[in-house]
Amino acid sequence: MTLSSTAFDRVRVLLRRRPSVAWRRFLALGLVLLAALGAFWPDVGYPAVVTSRDLPAGAALSATDVRLVSFPAPVTGSFSRADLVVGRTLSGAARSGVPLTDFDLSSATDDLASVAVRVADQGLAGVVRMGDRVDVVSPSAEVLAENASVRETRGQVVVLMLPRLNANRVAAMSLDHALAVTLR
């Protein structure tokens, strides 16, 4: 056999040779070790707590309602451990798999109540959806509540989740007047 002078011919001759049994075993062992290393390699993502199912506003979170998921980029305001959110209350509705942030949870000191409000603008009542944030305004242009979470909508009536102090004022005012809501 004569050696060829071109690099292409030399590579072609080497590829025609059948690798030895020892070389094949060494290659197989390397692939098994690489697979094992990949299986046990730590996740390099950013952990965030997400809901495990759709939850309504005002739901108290339990350990079965949340799970930890890894994201490729950090989620601003998210929680890195599930125990940080268990026992807290959702301030708005939450979809399954969406990261929970500090805006999604009401503070532990809030005493929340739900209030049904008859909306003055029937067209706006059809636009407002569960989970939206609204401000409630009286007929005299006084802001009765800010950043209220919409819990439910039925026709011209919108059910809002508010701190109890604001809820009492809104409920008393809505007995006599239809109120305006502004979307945030």
Residues 61-74 have a mean pLDDT of: 89
Per-residue pLDDT at 43: 66
pLDDT at 108 over 50: no
Q: How many helices (H) and strands (E) does the chain have?
A: 4, 9
Write the CB contacts of 115 (distance below 8 Å, at least 6 apart in sequence): 159, 160, 162, 167, 170, 171, 174
Give the separation between CA 9 and CA 97, rounded to whole angstroms.
Answer: 56
134-153 mean pLDDT: 84
pLDDT-above-90 percentage for the chain: 9
How much is the pLDDT for 33? 92
Q: Domain 46-99 belongs to what architecture?
A: Alpha-Beta Complex (3.90)
pLDDT at 29 over 90: yes
The contacts of residue 1 (CB under 8 Å, 6+ apart) are: none
